[in-house]
Amino acid sequence: MEAEILLNAVDFGDVLLQNGGGYSGGDFDAVIDALDDPEPWLGALAGGAFGAALGALPAFCFTGFLVIAGTLGGGGQGVGIGFGPVFGPHISFAAGAAAAAYAASRGDMESGMGYHNGKDITFALGNKPDILAVGAAFGALGLLFEQISRNLALPLDPIPLSICISAILHRAFFGYSIVGKVSSKANGYFDMGPFEREETRDPGEVPGDGEMAGEERLAVEPWLGHQYKWGQVAAIGAVSGLAAAVVANALFGSIGTNAAFAGFGISAASLTFLNLGVAQIPVTHHMTLPAATAYMATHEDVVTAVTGNPDPAFAMGAAPALIIGTLFGVIGALVGEAHQRVFYAHSSTHFDPPAASIVVTTLIMGLLVVAGVWDYAVWVPGTTF
- Number of residues that make up the chain: 385
What is the Cα–Cα distance from 365 to 38, expressed in whole angstroms?
32
* Residue 37: per-residue pLDDT: 95
Average pLDDT over residues 255-282: 96
Q: How many C-beta atoms surround the C-beta of residue 326 within 10 A?
A: 24
Percentage above 70 pLDDT, the chain: 94
Average pLDDT over residues 307-315: 91
Exposure of 150 by Cβ count < 10 A (0-12 exposed, 13-18 middle, 19+ buried)?
A: buried
- Cα atoms found within 13 Å of the Cα of residue 365, Cβ hemisphere only: 33
- CA-based R_g, the chain, Å: 20
Is 347:176 a contact under the CB 8 Å cutoff?
Answer: yes
Average pLDDT over residues 253-280: 95
What is the Cα–Cα distance from 97 to 142, expressed in whole angstroms?
12
**Which has more confidence, 160 or 18?**
160
Percentage above 90 pLDDT, the chain: 85
Start-end of H helices in 36-157: 38-54, 56-72, 77-83, 92-105, 129-151
In this structure, is the dihedral angle defined by the CA atoms of residues 111, 99, 203 and 217, taken in order, positive or negative? Answer: positive
Q: For residue 32, give Cα distances in angstroms to 48, 126, 159, 245, 304.
A: 22, 34, 18, 36, 34
Q: Does the pLDDT value for residue 12 go beyond 50?
A: no
Average pLDDT over residues 63-80: 84
In this structure, is the dihedral angle defined by the CA atoms of residues 239, 380, 318 and 253, taken in order, positive or negative? Answer: positive
What is the Cα–Cα distance from 99 to 350, expressed in whole angstroms?
11
Q: For residue 255, give Cα distances in angstroms to 84, 166, 197.
A: 19, 32, 49
Nearest to 291 by CA among 317, 263, 310, 252: 263
- DSSP character string of 96-114: HHHHHHHHHHTT------S
Is 188:180 a contact under the CB 8 Å cutoff?
Answer: no
What is the Cα–Cα distance from 126 to 49, expressed in whole angstroms?
10
* Residue 17: per-residue pLDDT: 36
Q: How many C-beta atoms surround the C-beta of residue 212 within 10 A?
A: 16
Gap between the terminal Cα atoms of the chain: 18
* Residue 21: per-residue pLDDT: 59
Q: Does the pLDDT value for residue 16 go beyond 70?
A: no
pLDDT grade, residue 76 (50/70/90)? Answer: low
What is the Cα–Cα distance from 116 to 216, expressed in whole angstroms?
10
Q: Does the pLDDT value for residue 13 go beyond 70?
A: no
Query: 299 in helix, strand or coil?
Result: strand
* Residue 27: per-residue pLDDT: 93
287 phi/psi in degrees, rounded to 5:
-105, -45
Average pLDDT over residues 1-25: 46
Q: How many C-beta atoms surround the C-beta of residue 276 within 10 A?
A: 11
Q: For residue 190, give Cα distances in angstroms to 126, 154, 215, 337, 345.
A: 35, 30, 21, 9, 9
Nearest to 327 by CA among 366, 295, 374, 282: 295
Is 121:101 a contact under the CB 8 Å cutoff?
Answer: no
What is the per-residue pLDDT across 315-328, written as a single tens digit (0 to 9) for each?
A: 999 999 999 999 99
What is the per-residue pLDDT across 25-57, written as a single tens digit (0 to 9) for each?
A: 999 999 999 999 999 999 999 999 999 999 999
pLDDT, averaged across the chain: 92
Exposure of 86 by Cβ count < 10 A (0-12 exposed, 13-18 middle, 19+ buried)?
A: buried
Exposure of 171 by Cβ count < 10 A (0-12 exposed, 13-18 middle, 19+ buried)?
A: buried
Nearest to 264 by CA among 104, 384, 379: 379
Q: Does the pLDDT value for residue 6 go beyond 90?
A: no
What is the per-residue pLDDT across 341-385, written as a single tens digit (0 to 9) for each?
A: 999 999 999 999 999 999 999 999 999 999 999 999 999 999 998
